Chains A and B, each alone.
Chain A
C-alpha cells in the first residue's frame, strides 16, 4: 500500500446537513433534499444533473436500492452506490467517493448519508428475536461490556462518563441543527434511569432522523469553485474480530479504532495526533466509547483519558476540542448520516464557519466512526493547505 497515494488529491467543496431530530413530519426524501441542496449551494452547483457525475450514499435502515436517492434528487443516468456498514456507513460512503474522484474517473461526486430510524415505532434500536445466541443484542449492551474491566483496571467510573455527557450536551446547544439543545448536570447524568449498566439515559447517543451531504472534486479543480476548499488528507477503514468472540480481546481498547487510526495517520503523515490535530469528531455512541476512543486514537495514553476529562482537555476551549457540535450524544445519530455529518462539522470548523463553537485556527480535523459490535471503524482526516 502506498500511504501517499491519496493525500491532498481530493477536496471538499460543499457540505450540507438537514435539521437532525425526531422528524415526524419529514420523509427520507425531505431530509435528503434538504441536505443535498444545501451542499449544492455551498459548492456553487447550479446544474446538478450535469455537474454531479456519481453518488455514493450510505444508509443502514432502508432496504431500498439506489432508486430512492435518484428519485429524491431527480438525478438520473449516473451511478449511485448504496453502502451499509453499521455506524461507519457515512464515513465509508465518503471514502468510496474520494476513491472515485482520486482515480480520475469522475471530477465531481456527491456523498450522502441518511437514515430515518424514527419511523419504526420504537425508541432505541430494534431488539432481535431471530436467534438465541448473543442476546440481548443491544448496542448499549455491546459497548458497555468494556466498562467493568476498564473501570477496574484504570480506576474510572460513571462520574467520568457523566462529564463527557455534560460536555456534549453543552456543545449541542451551540449547533443550530442539533437534536438536543439542553444543558445537563453531572447529577442529571448520574441519576438518570439505567439503560445498560453503566450507561444511564444520558450516556447514550440520541437516536434521530437526519441526512448530511458532501460534494467533493479533484483538488486541481476545486480552486475554480471556491478559494477555501478543504483537502482530504486520509480516509481509512479497518475491521477487527467480533469482540464477543475474539479470544484476545482485553476490554480496554476497541481494536477497529487502533487499526484504522494507524493507517489514517500514516496516510496523513501524522506522528503526534494530539499535538497535530486541532479538532476531532469521534463516535460517542456511548460516553464510554468516547472515553476509550481518546486513547484508541492516540490522543492520550491508555488509562489516562479520565484525567483529561477532569482537566477539560477535550472541551471547547480545551487543548483539543472533541465533538464540537454535540456529537452523537446531542446532535443526533441517524446511523448512516453520522459519518457525513462529522465531515460537515469538520469542514465548517476548518473554514472558520462554526459560529460560537468555532475552534480557533483549526487546520487539521479528524472524524471517526466505530460500528457493529463493534468490528469496524472509519476515519477521515481533512485539512487546510
Chain B
C-alpha cells in the first residue's frame, strides 16, 4: 500500500495584522497573515515542517527529498540539498527541487507517491514551502501568507492510502513572477477567478471522481486551494462538494501560502480526520491537480505533531507595518546590511556540518561534545577521536544572555544566549522571544534560521527558541 506515512507543517510565529497595512490599529482577533520574519525563508520553513513530519522517524530511513517552492531564491543551487544537510539525512539521499508553479507542492507529492510505488525509494520526504511577496500595500500582500507542509511518503504504516489523482494543464498568465523580481504580479482578479481558478479546479475534481469511479459526496474532507473564500465555495458547489466538507482555508489567519497551500490544507485535514475517511486535495496553478487519499487505522497511532493547528496557536503579532517592512528588507537603508562577498564558499563548505547540520563532535575517549568539531578534545586532549553528534534535535538550557542593540537587525535588540546542550556550549541567537521573556536556565530547542544575507545570499545557522509549552516531545 502506497501513501502518506506522516505529515507535518510549519507556520511562522510572526503575524502581520492586516489592519496595519492600511495604517489602521490592529484589533485583537482581526484578520492577519503569517509572516516569515527576517530570519526565515522558504528553506528554513521547509526544515521546520520536515522536522515536524519526522517526529518519531529514524532520519536515516529517508531515501529522497523533494523540495517544492516558487520563492526559493536561488535559480541555480538546489534548495533540497540545504534541507537535506540541515536535517542530517544520509549523504546518498536523492534531492530534487520542484518549482515554477503553485502546483509544485502537489506535483512533488505525486512524484513521491509514484517513486515509492515504482520501488525507486522506500521513504520520500516531500516538503512544500513558500514565502511569496506581494508589493508593499498592493493587492497581493494582504492575501499571501507564509508556511510549509511536509509529508513522508512510503509503503509501511501508511496513514493515508493514495487512491489516485487527476491533473490538468492550462496555459494562462494570471499570476507570475519574472526572474530577478521580488514581487508576484497578477492580472485582473475576476479574470483569474473566472477563467483560471474555478474552471480548472472544477474540471480536475470532476476528472478525479470519474477516474476513481467516485462521487463527490464520498469525500468527507476537501483540501482545496482557495484563491479567496468565495471562489473556493464556488468550486466546491460546481464540483458537487458540500460546503461544510471544505477544509477551512485559514484566510485571515494564515493567508495563501502558494505552493504549500493545498498541501497545508491536506495536513490540516489529516490532523482532524479519523480512520476510514476519504480526503481530496486539489491545487491550482497553470492548470490544476487533485489527489485522493483514504485514511487508515494507522492514523491514530501517529504520534502527535504541532502541524498546522499547533503552529497557528503560537503567534506573535508584529507591532507595526514598518516592522514588517524592515523584516523583509523592504525599507530603504543608508547602508546595506551585510558584506559584499559574504561567506567564503570554501569556509562554508568545510563547516557545513556544524553550520547547516548543527552537528557537533563527540570525543570517543571522554564523551565531551564540541561544536564545531575540533582536532583536539578540550577535555581530555585526545587528538582526532571524534564521532558526529547531532545537536539539532536536542534541547538546551540558557546559561547566560545579552540583548545586543549594536548588531544590525530588523527590530533590535538581537537576543544572544549562551546555551548548553549535551554538555556542549553553543552561543546562538534566540528566536521567537522578547527580551523580557528570557530567563536563566530556561529550556530551549534549536531552529534553523537565516542569519544574514551577506553576499546577496541567504546564510543559515541555527538559533535557540524557547521550548513551547505542550510541544510534542
Report which A residues bind B (CB closer than 8 A). Answer: 124, 127, 129-136, 138, 140-141, 144-149, 152, 193-198, 241, 244-247, 249, 251
Contacts and interface: CB of A to CB of B under 8 A. Distances in A.
B372 A133 contact: yes
Interface residues of B, number: 45
Contacts of A131: 343, 347
Nearest to B335: A122
- Most-contacted residue by chain A among B400, B440, B459 (CB, 10 A): B400
A141 B426 CA distance: 14
Contacts of A135: 407, 429, 451-452, 461
B406 A127 contact: yes
Given A149-B440, A245-B370, A247-B425, A197 B435 contact: yes
B404 A132 contact: no
- Smallest CB-CB A-B distances: 9 pairs: A136-B407, A129-B454, A132-B461, A197-B403, A144-B402, A129-B339, A244-B427, A132-B451, A196-B404
24 contacts: A129-B339, A129-B452, A132-B343, A132-B355, A133-B372, A134-B427, A136-B429, A138-B404, A138-B407, A141-B406, A141-B416, A145-B401, A145-B416, A145-B427, A146-B400, A147-B400, A149-B400, A195-B405, A196-B413, A196-B416, A198-B402, A245-B371, A245-B425, A247-B423
A268 B424 CA distance: 38
B322 interface: no
Given A130-B339, A132-B343, A132-B452, A138 B406 contact: yes
Interface in B21-80: none
A144 B368 CA distance: 26
Given A130-B343, A133-B461, A145 B406 contact: no
Given A130-B339, A247-B424, 11 more contacts: A132-B343, A135-B407, A135-B452, A136-B414, A145-B400, A148-B402, A149-B440, A194-B405, A195-B406, A245-B378, A247-B378
Contacts of A194: 403, 405, 413
Contacts of B435: 197
A335 B461 CA distance: 30
Interface of B: 337-339, 342-344, 347, 351, 354-355, 368, 370-372, 378-379, 399-408, 413-414, 416, 418, 420, 423-427, 429, 435, 440, 451-452, 454, 459-461
Contacts of B426: 244
B461 A197 contact: no
Nearest to A124: B406
B401 A148 contact: yes
B338 A148 contact: no
Contacts of A140: 402, 404, 406
Contacts of A132: 343, 355, 451-452, 459-461
A244 B372 contact: no
A194 B405 CA distance: 7
Nearest to A152: B440
Nearest to B379: A247
B141 to A, nearest CB: 29
Given A246-B378, A247-B379, A196 B402 contact: yes
Contacts of A196: 402-406, 413, 416
A145 B402 contact: yes
Given A130-B454, A244-B418, A247-B378, A136 B351 contact: no
B407 A127 contact: yes
A148 B429 CA distance: 16
Contacts of A141: 402, 404, 406-407, 416
Contacts of B370: 245
B420 to A, nearest CB: 8
Contacts of A246: 378, 425
A196 B401 CA distance: 10
Nearest to A121: B335
A307 to B, nearest CB: 23
Nearest to A144: B402
Contacts of B379: 247
A136 B416 contact: yes
A132 B357 CA distance: 13
Contacts of A145: 400-402, 416, 418, 427
A148 B400 contact: yes
A152 B401 CA distance: 12
A60 to B, nearest CB: 19
Contacts of B414: 136
Given A133-B372, A244-B418, A247-B425, A193 B405 contact: yes
A197 B413 contact: yes
A338 to B, nearest CB: 20
B378 A133 contact: no
Given A148-B402, A149-B399, A244-B418, A127 B378 contact: no
Contacts of A146: 400
B351 A133 contact: yes
B404 A130 contact: no
Given A129-B338, A133-B351, A141-B416, A147 B402 contact: yes
A241 B425 CA distance: 12
A136 B435 CA distance: 16
Contacts of B420: 247
Contacts of A245: 370-371, 378, 425
Contacts of B343: 130-132
Contacts of A129: 337-339, 342, 452, 454
Nearest to A126: B339
